[in-house]
Amino acid sequence: MESRFAMSSLGSPIVDRRAFLLAGAGAAAAGLLPRSGRAEAPCAEYNLTAASAQSPILGASRPWTEVWSYNGSIPGPEIRVRQGEPVRINVRNGLSEETTVHWHGIRLPNNMDGVPGLTQRPIAPGETFTYKFTPPDAGTFWYHSHSNSLQQLGRGLTGPLIVEEAERYPVDRDLVWMFADWRLTTDAQIASGFGNAMEAAMSGRVGNTVTVNGAISSGEQVHAGERIRLRLINGALARIMALRFEGHRPVIIAVDGQPCQPHQPPNGRLLLGPAMRIDIVLNLRGKPGHHYAVRDDFYENLAYTVTHLNYSANAALRTARDDNDVPLPGNPLPEPDLQGAEPHQIVLQGGMMGGGMMHGMGGMSGMAHDASWSINGHSMIGDGQASMPSLLTLPRGRSIILKMQNKTAWWHPMHLHGYSFKLLRRNGTPVPHRQWGDTVLMAPKDNVDVAFVADNPGKWMLHCHITDHQVSGMMSVLDVR
Ligand code: C2O
Ligand code: CU
């Protein structure tokens, strides 16, 4: 039932579209009916087809945008499974180029990780590949293409992946807001120019149109007195977001799917780099009939309203509850042994400086043509290939500390595949609220230490999730064996 809730809560153009998908004969093919089989079958099954489609990003009355999507919807269908329950996802490639799907944040077997060349042969046009895994952790995750990432992500190949806790968290509704950022031309088409070298050495391809669940949003309909869980997913190519909920006090209960101690964000500002997720609880204490803006003020002087909380005129459902400090149940993450841990330095370099000079690239030996960025002096470019040498070999079962140093003048959301890591310190200060993540946002010159137990064997990507940075050098491979 929760998935119905989430769907009926989407912005209006999308409601119609999804309702149509649900009602139509395409519903089964759209992969939207996994729950029916749950009681009988031990395994949830989904079908995703990556193909081009038309989507009303700017609203049904404006020109529709040609996108690449899963099952014709932007974002792709919500995949919702239970913690510890196996899932199979049949991915058919209806594009005219190779693709793969990465299940971002899920701790899964290496050969299901979706990195072309490195963990699997890419899915050729017309072929189908079946991904199978059993998510050990409950939380908010997402899936996206990992092939020709700049274009495949930038044209829409992303979707939410929700792993439910065994017991329902005490809220009235559970909603997903998946953000995307598009660079649209005046006729609402996706602008060309992916992979611009100048942009790649700076902030990446930041767009001009931010959508919530696939369309520009006029708001979420809410009721006074309600308590909602809102799962925020930044599925943008490059845009970092800093969200403020006017008139409300969000409480963070999970970061990157992993439960933390419930806390309010510093200055009421939720920092969400590309690929990051934050689950919040909102007690809706606004006035019936009022509208409250949700603003993103990350980039200086470029603040804008992402969406609104639109209160119905009805009187409050109940007097506000004060129980929003309930923590989520923990996930079965192995606790790293910090005393015995093996430390490794990870140094991020490159990018444009204020004066347009390249800076601090270290040894040029590992540098590929077109590289703007490097990790420990090496630049791997692209999306993944069979021949990628490993930056580090980590002994299986050992606790590892990555001491990451951002020597650049730019922000980087650094993502490790196959693991969640514990955030230990930022610039020498312990990170509060027991936070884990799979993507850590590093400010210019930040030093961040993270730790994990290297219990999942295989070759795992470590890369910046600003896609232009990833494909122009800020990528490496950690080999656990
Ligand atoms: Cu969202 Cu290589 O990952
Ligand atoms: Cu980066």
Model pLDDT, residue 323: 60
Distance between CA atoms of residues 369 and 376, nearest Å: 17
Residue 159 lies in a domain: yes
Same domain, 131 and 219: no
Residue 449 lies in a domain: yes
For strand 227-234 and strand 277-283, is the pairing parallel, antiparallel, or unpaired? antiparallel
Model pLDDT, residue 387: 82
Write down which residue in 140, 164, 188 finishes a domain.
164
332 cis-preceded (ω within 30 degrees of 0): no
Same domain, 155 and 183: no
Contact 75, 30 (CB under 8 A): no
Model pLDDT, residue 39: 46
Ligand 1 centre to CA of 133 (Å) is: 17
Residue 97 lies in a domain: yes
Write down which residue in 132, 164, 196 finishes a domain.
164
Same domain, 120 and 223: no
Same domain, 64 and 146: yes
Q: Using a 6 Å cutoff on CB, does residue 144 contact ligand 1?
A: yes
Contact 468, 199 (CB under 8 A): yes
Same domain, 445 and 355: yes
Distance of CA 365 to the CA centre of its chain: 33
Same domain, 202 and 137: no
b/e for 280-309, b at 16 or more Cβ within 10 A?
A: bbbbbebeeeeebebbbebeeeeeeebbbb
Residue 112 lies in a domain: yes
Q: Which ligand is nearest to the CA of 414?
A: 2
Same domain, 177 and 160: no
Atom 3 (ligand 1): residue with closest C-alpha?
104
296: amino acid identity, one letter: D
Ligand 2 centre to CA of 239 (Å) is: 11
Same domain, 140 and 253: no
Same domain, 106 and 32: yes
Q: Which atom of ligand 1 is nearest to the CA of 470?
A: 2
Residue 158 lies in a domain: yes
Ligand 2 centre to CA of 258 (Å) is: 22
Residue 9 lies in a domain: no
Same domain, 130 and 84: yes
Write down which residue in 164, 194, 215 finishes a domain.
164
Q: Using a 6 Å cutoff on CB, does residue 277 contact ligand 1?
A: no
Contact 333, 420 (CB under 8 A): yes
Model pLDDT, residue 356: 37
- CATH no. for residue 46? 2.60.40.420
Average pLDDT per run of 10 along the chain, which is 481 residues long? 32 31 37 44 87 96 97 98 97 98 98 97 98 98 97 98 96 97 97 92 95 96 96 98 97 98 96 98 95 95 96 82 80 98 97 52 40 90 85 98 97 98 98 98 97 98 97 96 96
Split into its structural domains, the chain has a count of 3
Contact 183, 189 (CB under 8 A): no
Q: Which atom of ligand 1 is nearest to the CA of 115?
A: 2
Ligand 2 centre to CA of 204 (Å) is: 8
Q: Using a 6 Å cutoff on CB, does residue 275 contact ligand 1?
A: yes
Same domain, 425 and 471: yes
Range of the domain at 34: 22-164
Model pLDDT, residue 25: 35
Provide the whole-model pTM. 0.89
Q: Which atom of ligand 1 is nearest to the CA of 417?
A: 2
Q: Using a 6 Å cutoff on CB, does residue 102 contact ligand 1?
A: yes
Q: List the structure tokens of 294.
A: 């949700």
Ligand 1 centre to CA of 465 (Å) is: 6
Cα–Cα–Cα angle for 433, 434, 438, rounded to 5 degrees: 115
Ligand 2 centre to CA of 464 (Å) is: 5
Q: Which ligand is nearest to the CA of 416?
A: 1
The sheet carrying 291-296 orders its strands as 220-222, 304-311, 291-296, 241-245, 270-272
Same domain, 292 and 354: no
Q: Which ligand is nearest to the CA of 444?
A: 2
Model pLDDT, residue 320: 58
Atom 1 (ligand 1): residue with closest C-alpha?
104
Q: Using a 6 Å cutoff on CB, does residue 173 contact ligand 1?
A: no
Ligand 2 centre to CA of 411 (Å) is: 6
Q: Which ligand is nearest to the CA of 468?
A: 2
